[in-house]
Structure 1
Amino acid sequence: MGATPPLLALRAFVEVGQRGSIKAAAQALHVTSGAVSQQIRLLEDRVGVTLFTRERQGLRLTEAGASVHPALLQAFAQIAQAMQSLEQTKARPTLTVSTVATFAASWLVPRLGRFKQRHPKIEVRVEATSALVDMRQGRVDVALRHGLGAYPGLAVTRLMAPVLVPVARPGLVGSNAQLATPEDCLGYALLHDGDRADWPLWFAAHGVAPDARAERGTAFEDDFLLIRAAEAGQGLALVPQEYARDEIAAGRLVQVLAKPWPARFAYYLVTQPDARQRPEVKAFVDWILEEAQGPG
């Protein structure tokens, strides 16, 4: 066996062993499933040992594979940590912030100029995505997540709770324009945000049992598109109250249920537990909490 370890093959082995799936490992490594399979075969040929057995639920480590996987997993984690330390020595610190596109466009981005004025040496990179990022990989420094605040193993601070209201075109729910309970919303077509998170979380927060109807319906990446669809009579939409205020005042929409928004259903600022010790992360956290408490 040569002295140089097959790093690509070992990385593929670690990812497949951790995830139990060639496809999931390929997605994590941003390569094709075929490339991962080839690396696993190369590694098994090199060491002369079978590392995985195939089962109905996916791939399982053999005894030999399981005996070395923890050490290799720790080794790659140490490499990632070392690379992160190198990146932190740059003259201009860089901060990567991940959040959903609507929040980035409507709230975060218009305010970033004030952060740059206060901290001109900190470069900010905003990732607008509905995907739930894995903070353990170290690629994202701060995540602004929309949900109920349950993010185990991470430092979580409540940022703000936008007031969302269920709205519809006048006449869609009958002449009285009001529903009696949150469950009544399930009897209508629901219009969703891009990641289909708002309605299911809203129902859960109001004690409604899980129901497949809560996840059905057309989804829109932008809240203003949601409002347009609701105005067209396509269903009920759950939108920020301030976005629908003009439409309600003009009679183009009606609020169909007078329910206060749950206090824990909010935007949360999420970081790794020790990340806020870094000056650039602390500066951003302090600034955004100040912005969230401001008048607008």
Structure 2
Amino acid sequence: MNYPLQALRIFVEVGQRKSVKAAAQALHVTPGAVSQQIRVLEDRLGVVLLERERLGMRLTEVGASVYPSLLDAFLQIDQTMHALERSKGRRSLTVSTVATFAASWLVPRLGRFKQLHPDIEIRVEATSELVDLRRDRVDVALRHGLGDYPGLEVTFLMAPVLTPVASPEFLSAHQAEIKEASDCLDYPLLHDGDRADWPLWLKAHEVANDARAERGSAFDDDFLLIRAAEAGQGLALVPQAYAREEIAAGRLIQVLDKPWPARFAYYAVTQPGANDRNEVRVFLDWIREEAAR
């Protein structure tokens, strides 16, 4: 019997992530293509493997019974292919990070890495989804957090510096006069995903607790946060490195020269023992040096 391997692979990805959209991002296809392949597979087998829930997808009883075996099978295929590539002398590295960090910090520096190590191929996966290093076939994950990643090896890279910015149009329309950190509370604020940065920044500048510090729109990605500030939607607290180009071009203005290191830092995260691979080790050495600059 000819089994639909592509559809089975897609089923495994959806089963892992409990989301058609997340599976589509991982496979670099459209959500519609994922849904179609699942329908093809279920029609061919005559069973329902996945059911839609309010917050995503759920394995049915039948789906849950076959999912572990299929997951192991595809992991073995991937490991075999990686071993084959290494035996042919091909050296490659998959790096996962969020889109903003990739675009504003990592990618502009990768040219220097390629000059030092032209034989190592780098594949950058930009996603805001949490990754399972083994499941998602990722060698190094670059993440912004508290550094608490149980069971994994963690390398500190750097703590970004947060600074308040706004568009010239926003400042003009609001006739804004911002001389102290507390003045920011008089205007609409734009937040990071967990709404932590503004309250922490204000506290660091000795501003008393104020309910206004938690009001306003929130964005999961710093890139979207910067775009919202450019569009004149409010004051944004962003890493200086991310907004450098916009500030230099005049699309954003740093409203106060009162930067403060962020609560979170950037870390390189790998599986235990992954640093034994030469490709991983030289990449970590290089990115530590870049972060130290």
Shared fold per TM-score greater than 0.5: yes
Return the letter of the residue paired with 1:281.
V
Separation in 2 of the partners of 1:219 and 1:270? 20
SS of the aligned residue for 1:84 comes to helix
SS of the aligned residue for 1:132 comes to coil
Question: RMSD between aligned alpha carbons?
Answer: 4.4
String of CA shifts for 1:132-166, please: whole Å, max 9, x gaps: 36333444322322343344554322211121111
Question: Counterparts of 1:72-221 in structure 2 under 5 Å?
Answer: 72-127=70-125, 129-132=126-129, 134=131, 135-168=133-166, 172=174, 175=177, 177-180=179-182, 184=185, 187-190=187-190, 197=193, 200-203=195-198, 213-215=216-218, 220=223
**2:260 matches 1:260:** yes
Structure 1 residue runs of 5 or longer lacking an equivalent are none
**Residues 212 and 139 (structure 1), Cα distance of their counterparts in 2 relative to 1, 3 Å cut:** farther
Return the letter of the residue paired with 1:260.
W
Contact 2:95 2:140 in 1 (8 A): yes
**Residues 65 and 293 (structure 1), Cα distance of their counterparts in 2 relative to 1, 3 Å cut:** closer
Separation in 2 of the partners of 1:77 and 1:217? 30
Contact 1:9 1:40 in 2 (8 A): no
Compare 151-160 and 10-19 and name the one that shifted more.
10-19
In the TM superposition, what is the alpha-carbon distance from 1:281 to its structure 2 partner? Answer: 0.9
Separation in 1 of the partners of 2:91 and 2:76? 21
Return the letter of the residue paired with 1:271.
T
SS of the aligned residue for 1:149 comes to coil
Separation in 1 of the partners of 2:200 and 2:113? 34
TM-score, structure 1 as length reference: 0.68
Compare 273-282 and 150-159 and name the one that shifted more.
150-159
Contact 2:222 2:238 in 1 (8 A): no
In the TM superposition, what is the alpha-carbon distance from 1:215 to its structure 2 partner? Answer: 0.7
**Residues 92 and 163 (structure 1), Cα distance of their counterparts in 2 relative to 1, 3 Å cut:** same
Separation in 2 of the partners of 1:240 and 1:151? 23
Using the aligned pairs only, state the percent identity.
50
Separation in 1 of the partners of 2:16 and 2:271? 20
Separation in 2 of the partners of 1:268 and 1:18? 24
String of CA shifts for 1:240-290, please: whole Å, max 9, x gaps: 446669969x9x94545846323x512221223332221111111011112
Separation in 2 of the partners of 1:274 and 1:218? 31
Separation in 2 of the partners of 1:218 and 1:275? 28
Tell me the residue number matched to 1:281: 280
Tell me the residue number matched to 1:41: 43
Contact 2:42 2:48 in 1 (8 A): no
SS of the aligned residue for 1:237 comes to strand
Separation in 2 of the partners of 1:237 and 1:213? 10
Tell me the residue number matched to 2:206: none
Return the letter of the residue paired with 1:76.
F
**Residues 54 and 266 (structure 1), Cα distance of their counterparts in 2 relative to 1, 3 Å cut:** closer
Separation in 1 of the partners of 2:54 and 2:124? 40
Return the letter of the residue paired with 1:277.
D
TM-score, structure 2 as length reference: 0.68
Return the letter of the residue paired with 1:261.
P
